[in-house]
Amino acid sequence: MDHASKSQRRRIVIAAGACAAGGGALFLSQQHHATRSWPHGSPLAVDLASLVAGKLKTVEWQGKPVWLLRRSEHMLAALAKPNNDLADPDSKASLQPDACQNPLRSLRPEIFVAIGLCTHQGCTPALNGDHFLCPCHTSKYDLAGRVFKVGPAQANLVIPAYRFDGENTITIGADA
């Protein structure tokens, strides 16, 4: 077995252990990292017409919470500022569709989509002003889902496949 295969197998074994301990979300997250494929499947259309700027909407998709946030002008201005406290500012070690590997981690600047599970052990962070805060061990993410160095999580929030099918319709699970 070559080094890469061993490394991948080790990650999956570690994830399986975490799953047995109740970390099912972590298991899914690690699986995606092992394959470098962002989550796809079971297309779910969501109407964004009633999504108010600054408010977070959560839908269930494949048994997981998916966040939809219409970022306000104020939120976008905060994200435009340089930030040296991020663990993976360019999302090189994080999981998102290729089209979302940009500073805002999104297809459209104002609409942020992410799986709302902390990449540490799968708790659900909460929107807390200009960031998301995980209640379990205080990992912190900016409004593009980029994790801060402080706290145990070191990967950005996972972004699933999604596409826009109109001004106010988004389909989760399908590539753009």
CB count within 10 Å of CB 30 equals: 21
Residues 120-139 that bind ligand FES (CB under 6 A): 120-121, 123, 134, 136-137, 139
User: If we measure between CA atoms, which residue out of 11, 110, 1, 114 comes closest to residue 64?
Assistant: 114
Among positions 24, 43, 109, 152, the unique one binding ligand FES when judged by CB under 6 A: 152
Q: 3, 74, 131, 137: which one is catalytic?
A: 137
Return the range that interacts with ligand FES (CB under 6 A); candidates 5-13, 14-22, 119-127, 161-169. Answer: 119-127
- Site size for ligand FES, by CB under 6 A? 11
> In the 3-class helix/strand/coil scheme, how is 117-147 assigned residue by residue?
CCCCCCCCCEECCCCEECCCCCCEECCCCCE
Q: Evaluate whether 143 touches 131 at the Cβ level (below 8 Å).
A: yes
CA torsion angle 146 150 155 159 (round to 10): -30
Tell me the C-alpha distance between 96 and 34, whole Å: 13
CA-atom Rg of the chain in angstroms: 16
Residues 7-36 that bind ligand FES (CB under 6 A): none
Return the range that interacts with ligand FES (CB under 6 A); candidates 2-10, 39-47, 81-89, 149-157. Answer: 149-157
Residue closer to ligand FES by CB (options 58, 168) is 58
Tell me the C-alpha distance between 134 and 144, whole Å: 15
Residue closer to ligand FES by CB (options 123, 174) is 123
Task: Provide, rounded to whole angstroms, the least separation between the CB of residue 94 and ligand FES.
Answer: 15
118 binds ligand FES (CB under 6 A): yes
Task: List alpha helices for 3-148, DSSP H.
Answer: 3-20, 24-35, 73-79
Catalytic residue list contains 74: no
Task: Provide, rounded to whole angstroms, the least separation between the CB of residue 171 and ligand FES.
Answer: 28
**Residues at the interface with ligand FES (CB under 6 A):** 118, 120-121, 123, 134, 136-137, 139, 151-153
Instruction: Give catalytic residue positions.
Output: 137
